[in-house]
Chain A
Amino acid sequence: MGLIVAEDITKDYQAGEVTLRALNRVTFEIEPASFVSFVGPSGSGKTTLLNLIGCLDKPTEGTLKVADTDVLSLNRKQSASFRGENIGFIFQDFNLIPVLTVYENIEYPLLMVQNIPSREREERVMKLLGAVDMLEQKNKYPDQISGGQKQRVAVARALVTNPRLVLADEPTANLDSKTAYMIIELMKKMRDEFETTFIFSTHDQKIVGEAEIIYTLEDGELKDRQVKGGANG
C-alpha cells in the first residue's frame, strides 16, 4: 500500500459569498521513498495539495491516508502530533527562526515534538549538520548565512525528526539555479540515505526534471502523471 493514498479529494475555500474550488476530485497514490514533484502554474492547487497531505488543512470531500492513517479523522492536537512524528516541511522562504542558531534551528522540532534524550538529540543534529555540510556554520544565526545555506538547514530541520515524508513547497524559488540544483541534489541524497519520501512543488521546469514522478496540476485538477524512465499515467 502507498505511503499516501488520496481519493477524490476536493478542497473549497470560502471567499465571502463565493466558493472557490482549489482542488477538484484529485486522486493519486505515492509509494514510500519516492521523489515526487507537483508542478503547475500559480493557483493550480499545488500548495493546497501539500497542505492537505501535510495535515495542515482538511479536504472538503474525499479520503486521504498518510502513512496508513486516515488524517481526516485527526483533531488539531492529533494532527500536530502526527506531523511531528511523520512529516517534515521545507518552505520557499526557508523560515528559520531568526533568534536560534543553525544548530538550534535543527534541534528545536525535537525538543517539543519528540521526547528524545539530549545525547541522542545532539547525535542526530550533528549527523544532519554533516550531511548538509553545515557543520562549520552550526553556531551562526540565520542572518549570517546565505539563502542556499538556509535551505540546507531547512532540509536538515525537516529530516531531524526522522519523518517518513518531507513536503517542500517551492523549495528553490528563492535560490539561484546553481544553488537550486544543489538543494534538489541534497534532497535526493537525503532520500537515498534516510529513505524518506520527498514531495516538492515547483513551477521551475528545469527543476521539475529532477523528480522521479511528476504530477501536473491545472486549475485544481490532476492533469498528468509522468514517471521518469517509465510510462505516463
Chain B
Amino acid sequence: MNYRYVINELRFHHQRTLVNILGIAIGIALFVSINAVSTAYQKAVSLPFKNLGADLVIQKPEKRAVDSAQTPASMRGIRLPFSNQLLPAEDLQKLVSLDGVASVGSSLLLWEFDNNGFRTIMGVDLSQPSLGPIKVKEWLKDGRFPEREGEVVLEKHFAKFHRTALGNTMRIGGRPFTVVGLLEIKEGSQIASANMYLPLSDAQNLSEGAQGVNIVYLRLQNPSFLDKVKSRIGRELPGVSVTSSDSFLEVMGGVSKISDQFTLLTSLIALAGAIFLIIKTMLGNLVARSSEIGILKAVGWTERDVQKQLMAEALLQSFAGGFVGVIAGYTISYCLGFLSIPVSTPWQINLTPAFAKDAATATTGAVRLPVSISAALTGIALLLSLVAGALASYFMARRTARMKPADILRKM
C-alpha cells in the first residue's frame, strides 16, 4: 500500500472524500445520539426508583381508586389515601421471603385535610436506612432527620409557604411535632415526595387504627430479576399493584416508549443508510477510476495491491466519518441534555389526591435528561464505522477483481 497515494487521493478529491465522511458521520451521529437519548430516557424514568434505592414499589389499590377523581364522602382530618389500602403483615412476610428480593422497606402515606387545603405525610421506616423514603434524608438542607417520635422534617418549599422554621412546632392531626430538619426533594423523586416526613410509628399513631403500611419498597438482588419477581408477586399476592421504572415508560408514551430493540433498529437503519451511501459513492468512484486501476494492474500491481489501496482509502474515510460522527453525536446529545422532560407518575403511586388543586403538577416531575455517551457506545460507533469501511472495501474488491486491465485499456 502506498500511503502517500492514499492521502493524496483523498486530499485531491476532497469533495468526494467529504461526502463519504459526512455520509458515515451522519449515520454514526444518529446512531450515537439515538442510543444516548434512549438510554437517557431509561435513566430518567428510573431516577425515582434509584433515588429511593428501590427496584419495585408495591401497593394495594382500592377498587374505587380506578375512579380516583371521585370525591370521597369524608374529607376532614387525617386519612389514608384513597388510592391504596393497608398491606397486611402476612403480605409483607410473603414479599420478604420472595426469591430475588434483597431487602424490603415500607412507609405509611397519609393525607391530612383541613381548612387550608391538604398536605401529605410520609411515615418513614427508620429501621431501613437505605431503602424507601428515608433516603430523602440525604437531601437535607438544614437540621437533621427525625430520630424519635414527635419530630418531623418538612419539605423546604412547604415550610417556606407555611412560614415554619427549624425548631418550630407544627401541629399534625392536632398533635405537636418539632421541626428538626428541612429538605429539598431531588428531581425525579415524586414517588417519595411529601410535605412532611416523620417516624413510621408517629404516622401509624396519627392514623387511628392504621397499624400497617401502605407502600412497600423492594430492592432486588439483581435488576435482571425484575420481571421474574413481578410475576411471582402477581401470583402470590393477587390484587396488589407493582410499579417499576417500566410503569413510568408506559404512562409517558412518545419517545420514552422506545424500547432497546427499537432504538437499536432505528439507529442501525440510520447506519445502514450511511453505509449504503458510502458503498454507492465509492463504487461510483471506482467506475470513474477504472482507467487508473487498469494502469496500476498493467504496471504490475496485483489485485491484492489495488484492493489494499482502495481498502485503505475506504477505511480511512469511514474511520474519519466515525470520529466526526461520534463528536457530532456527542454534541447533539450534550445539547439534548439541557432539555427537561416531564416524568409522569403512574396513578398507582400518585401521592396526591387526584381532585387536589395541583394534582397534575404534583404527579409530573421535570427531569433533566441525563444524557451521556459511554466509552462502550463510542467504541461500538467507531467499530461500526470501520465495519462500514470494510463492507465498502469488500464490494470494491469484488468489483475490481472483475476489472481486467486489457478490457479497461481497450476501452480507453
Binding site for B on A (CB under 8 A): 47, 51, 54, 56-57, 76-77, 80-81, 83-85, 88-89, 91-93, 95, 97-100, 104, 108-109, 111-113, 157, 161, 169
Contacts and interface: CB of A to CB of B under 8 A. Distances in A.
A111 to B, nearest CB: 5
Interface residues of B, number: 27
Contacts of B12: 98-99
Interface stretch (B53-61, B124-132, B402-410): B402-410
B300 A51 contact: no
Given A56-B409, A89-B295, A161-B299, 5 more contacts: A80-B297, A93-B291, A95-B291, A108-B2, A157-B299
Contacts of A108: 2, 5, 299
B301 A91 contact: no
The 8 closest A-B pairs by CB, nearest first: A84-B300, A113-B300, A57-B406, A99-B8, A56-B406, A99-B12, A109-B299, A80-B302
B9 interface: yes
A54 B409 CA distance: 12
A136 B28 CA distance: 46
A89 B299 CA distance: 7
Interface string B291-315: 1100111111111110000000000
8 contacts: A47-B409, A80-B297, A83-B298, A91-B412, A95-B291, A95-B295, A108-B5, A112-B296
A89 B5 contact: no
A97 B295 contact: yes
A109 B300 contact: yes
Interface in B228-275: none
Contact of B5 (A93, A97, A161): A97
Contacts of B162: none
A112 B295 contact: no
A100 B406 CA distance: 23
B135 to A, nearest CB: 64
A106 to B, nearest CB: 11
A93 B298 CA distance: 14
B163 to A, nearest CB: 78
B171 interface: no
Contacts of A92: 412
Interface string B151-186: 000000000000000000000000000000000000
Contacts of B398: none
A99 B297 CA distance: 17
B412 A113 contact: no
Contacts of A98: 12
B20 to A, nearest CB: 16
B308 to A, nearest CB: 9
Nearest to A57: B406
Contacts of B404: 56-57
A157 B12 CA distance: 21
A26 to B, nearest CB: 16
Contact of A112 (B2, B4, B8, B412): B2
A47 B406 CA distance: 9
B312 to A, nearest CB: 13
B301 to A, nearest CB: 5
B284 to A, nearest CB: 17
Given A111-B2, A112-B2, A112-B305, A95 B412 contact: yes
B300 A81 contact: yes
Nearest to B308: A112
Given A47-B409, A51-B409, A99-B9, A80 B300 contact: yes
Nearest to B405: A56
A57 B292 CA distance: 18
Nearest to A50: B409
B301 A47 contact: no
B299 A91 contact: no
Most central of A47, A83, A157 by chain B CB within 10 Å: A83
Contacts of A85: 300
B303 A104 contact: no
Contacts of B406: 51, 56-57
A89 B2 contact: no
A54 B298 contact: yes
B5 A99 contact: yes
Contacts of A112: 2, 296, 300-302, 305
Contacts of B2: 108, 111-112
Given A91-B412, A100-B5, A112-B2, A84 B299 contact: yes
Nearest to B291: A95
A61 B11 CA distance: 46
Contacts of A47: 409-410
A70 B45 CA distance: 76
Contacts of A89: 295, 298-299
Contacts of B299: 83-84, 88-89, 108-109, 113, 157, 161
